[in-house]
Amino acid sequence: MVSYKRLNPEEVNFSGATEDSGDAEAKTEDLERPLLEQRSQCSSTVALLTLGGLILVVLGVWLLGTVFWLRGPPSTEIHKPPPPVASPGQSREWDGGAQPESCTLIPEGWRFDCYPERGVVVNEEMCHKRNCCFIQVAEEKSPGQNGVPWCFYPPDFPSYELVTNNETEMGYRGKLVRRQKTYYPNDIETLQLDVLYESDSRLRIRVTDPAKDRYEVPIDVPVVKKKASNPLYTVEFTEQPFGLIVKRKQNGAVLLNTTVAPLFYADQFLQMSTSLASEFVYGLGEHRSNFLHDVQWNTLTMWTRDAAPVELTNLYGVHPFYLLMESDGLAHGSFLLNSNAMDVVLQPAPALTWRTIGGILDLYVFVGPDPSSVVGEYLEVVGKPAMPIYWALGYHLCRWGYDSSNNTWDVVKKMRNNQIPQDVQWNDIDYMDRALDFTHDPVNFATLPDLVKDLHIHDQHYVMILDPGISSTQPAGSYLPFQEGIKQGVFITNSSGDLLIGKVWPGLTAFPDFSNPDTHEWWYQNLKTFHDQVPFDGLWIDMNEPSNFLDGSVDGCPSNDLENPPYTPAVLGGSLRAKTVCASARQKLNSHYNLHNLYGLMEAKASASALKKLLKKRPFVISRSTFSSHGVYSGHWLGDNRSQWKDLYMSIPGMLTFNILGIPLVGADICGFSATTTEELCVRWTQLGAFYPFTRNHNTKDSQAQDPTVFSPAARKAMTEVLLLRYSLFPFLYTLFHHAHLSGHTVARPLFFEFPRDLKTYKIDKQFLWGKSLLVTPVLAPGVDYVVGYLPQGIWYDFYTGDSLVSKGEEIKLHAPLDKINLHLREGSITPTQRPNTTLWVSSSQPLHLIACLTEDGLAEGDLFWDDGETIDTYETDQYAYFIFRLKQNTMTSEVVHSHMEATYITVETVSFYGLKKGPTSVTVNSQEASFIYTTNQVLKVYDLGLNLSQNFTISWVS
């Protein structure tokens, strides 16, 4: 058979090596262009080459080039490992004999794991039985981490052959044939390849079984019937072995290259690898890690699981999408539309491997070219986030352990008495009667309906928790949710068709099957019945991985291929049934093996639908378990964190990751969920949490109370001030959510989104932006009154004072006493703020204050979206107002782009201009003289305006 085609060392122009001018093939074949840009040779290398003989020259160049290649900056060229092509006649049946010499020439970073099973010490005999290379590597590695694989694919490992490839209306359709079986059972020997040019910036690659329908993820994605007219990418094919290479037209950068490792497509083992254009990889949620993923042999396992966030563990959500920043500031992304258990392996080549145990290979490539466009293109496929109801952006307070509605009520009253902003009060499971869904404790929470009524009188709202586990052991006729659920057949069954029983908080439980439309109606009816008693405003859906205190069920799980697949990804607990229901369990749509990762998404969809029907307003849902497209229905909190400084920091990467995954309504439990916080930690966390898109303080019953009222007067004051600051920024934040809903933009944003050519921003995850312009630099360490923050090149203005700071792109030491979080506004921005109050209902009717931050040329621009805050689909039904503010040549204008009655209730009271170098002699507003103040720090404030937002206005000055 034809060997796996890779580059020979002499065909690669390594850093530090000179081009071999006699290699005509390397010059003429585009697939074998240099891996890296040329660099000047270091003098020591030249000396070695001069002193050495021909053999030393070749070996020296090859080894030095390999080192530079593995460690150097990313390239826009084809990324391929440099082992030589195996000899045409080489036998692959090693049978204990010497392995091919080509094995030793594969650099460590390009070794793709042939024995990925966890908990197995691979020896040479085991490896050779798979016809793979074996080289034992002595290395230091952290506990739980992978390292260089000892067993890896040789150059000629069998893969598929592209035997036909024909043009279609949408792109290409090919036939792939495997002529030699692999070591996993049930290879699918003939495959259908569809390459679909869906848009100029989106390519879709589907590999399916033409002889048999296989499970596919049941979420709505665009169905495109017309081929892109001017794609920003090219697609190249290799026939034997089959591979795809996708390049960016603009510069030839390689966005996908599957020729680097063999393709697997067995019934329960599908694997595809690609080179990566750089090591700057983001996304691939949900995992506790830095925002920038580590590519040093890092396996990210995806199988939803109830587990407190720790590194190297599969957590609550599954999002097989990554964003990659290229070395020149361009970006692209990929999304594998697959909901089965999977491992995503990152290795230092750099390269990535998708390894999943079911479904199909359905891969999207998003060309960008900027990171914001990549996220927008991804959300064009899975769905853009919903526009939240206005009070969702207020301050939320919760605790597991209030123990009674009166205790809950007391906290609400203390918050009011201290004039601390609060929009929403929550209850955890202690409000329930014996932990039963759709009930409240008739003794300890007897006054819950009165509490909710009181909240509504004060323009506040109520959210309670619901877990999916429905008690199955209540006396006959006493618990209608279970009784009616049995009648309607809404619960998950075992592989024999009998009711599957697990164990959660109420004891033995059945699990609703949210893949069944009948379950959605049953869910709605139960919510309606409970709402008649307790008129709640939103839902907190927890334990929906689904979580189970047992492994599988009370009866265990059968022994079959679904429970014990040929390959099990590196899931916590070692089996698919660990602390969840049996993989072989039956749901309406398919087996739980296929649908497990969708459970939270399907429950969120049912919950959002029920709330719309029940309340006739935008639904508010916060879910623990998530899947791609979840932002359409729900927000997310980052789970059961701890009251530790490390968890304070780790919340920022989590928040940024979920923003690029299309779930911008996200935050962590402020002050930490478990353990007991300290006053300093809680103050600093409240300051950071005030800039989570979703802001909630929540902790467990086993720790001390941590709402703002329990701390010292100084701490309460600091917390109150930062929450009022958040409320003052509501118009800005609300507009950011509009752009997220409309265009798929991020709300909380990594710095490199705005400064993609600044490589220093690529690793920053201790700071973030709101939108394009508000830079947040929180204190993340104890006992300090300063923080070091990075300010990208340009003019930045202190949010509070308007003092300007000109940065060359450098780290700055910022004063940060315990009562302050550092905020800076970017030059060229106009930010709408509002006079704050203790609820958003009151705040949102207050006058506006606009802050214009001038560039060196005196320019600035901003916008504002406004509606009634709760009606469904206001943008889609033209029930909104939209304004653009522009500053140019000493004149600021407000343009009403779209008018609506809501805007007539709001006035613009003041406008501040930061960075005005020369004080004005006069200021006019709509040609009338206006009052103003100009200060020595170059800030002009125009006040007492009383301008109606619904009418265009002009502010000008003469210097």
Catalytic residue among 545, 640, 707, 754: 545
Whether residue 467 lies in the annotated active site: no
Tell me the C-alpha distance between 711 and 671, whole Å: 12
Tell me the C-alpha distance between 16 and 27, whole Å: 18
Catalytic residue among 542, 647, 827, 867: 542
Query: Closest Cα partner for 408 from 424, 422, 394, 426?
Result: 426
* Residue 706 contacts residue 673 (beta carbons within 8 Å): no
Give me the residue label for tokens 């949710």.
Answer: 481
* Long-range CB contacts for residues 678-682, cutoff 8 Å, separation at least 24: 678/643, 678/782, 679/711, 679/712, 679/715, 680/782, 680/783, 680/818, 681/643, 681/644, 681/645, 681/648, 681/782, 682/706, 682/711, 682/715, 682/719
Alpha helices in 636-729 (DSSP H): 645-660, 679-689, 713-728
Q: Which residues contact 521 (CB under 8 A, 6 or more apart)?
A: none
Omega of the bond leading into 140 within 30 degrees of 0 (cis): no
Bridge partners of 195, per DSSP, are 172, 205
* Residue 609 contacts residue 520 (beta carbons within 8 Å): yes
Whether residue 370 lies in the annotated active site: no
Amino acid symbol at 193: L
Write a three-state SS string for 252-298: CCEEEEHHHCCCEEECCEEEEEEECCCCEEEEEECCCCCCCCCCCCE
Q: Which residues contact 36 (CB under 8 A, 6 or more apart)?
A: 13, 14, 15, 68, 69, 72, 73, 75, 77
Query: Closest Cα partner for 701 from 733, 671, 673, 728?
Result: 673
Q: ∠217-222-226 over CA atoms, to 5°?
A: 130
Q: Which residues contact 448 (CB under 8 A, 6 or more apart)?
A: 405, 408, 427, 431, 440, 534
DSSP string, 344-399: EEEETTTEEEEEESSS-EEEEEE--SSHHHHHHHHHHHH-PPPPPPGGGGSEEEEE
Q: Any idea which residues carry the catalytic annotation?
A: 542, 545
